[in-house]
Amino acid sequence: MQRVSVAQRRSGAGATTTVQARERVAAARERSAHRLSGTPWRRNAQVSGAWLREGPSAPEPAVRRPLDLALQRGALTLRAYDRVLRLAWTLADLASRARPTIDDVGRALYLKKGIPA
């Protein structure tokens, strides 16, 4: 998410309409349902942590490295690790990417608050 400037707020430039947001979310849900076909889940929020970390769609080790480091430092619990990874998948789905990038993981960590990326 990018910070909104005062000028943007006043002009309404770049504002997303409710219809656009709804369409984007629906497309992201379709992507996750397609990726998760053949599993008992349809949404990122339903996927088990073990499958997220070790399953066939698990992000590359380099992408997970910030999470691994935060876990080693004690800045994240394993439950929080999985929650951040779910959010990274959601960010990737919203951006129409096949897999989360290191930027998605960084944003998810930032949104978790208090966890340095």
CB 21 within 8 A of CB 67: no
Give yes or no for residue 70 having a pLDDT over 70.
yes
Higher pLDDT, 87 or 10: 87
What is the C-alpha separation between 88 and 58, in angstroms, rounded?
11
Q: For 47-65, how does the pLDDT look when each residue is reduced to its tens digit (9 = 90+)?
A: 999 999 998 989 999 999 9
Query: Whole-structure pTM over 0.85, yes or no?
Result: no
CB 72 within 8 A of CB 33: no
Instruction: Return the domain boundaries, the chain.
Output: 16-112
pLDDT of residue 4: 64
Name the strand (E) or helix (H) holding 26.
Answer: helix 18-35
Give yes or no for residue 82 having a pLDDT over 80.
yes
Which amino acid is present at 61? P
Give yes or no for residue 90 having a pLDDT over 60.
yes
CB 82 within 8 A of CB 53: yes
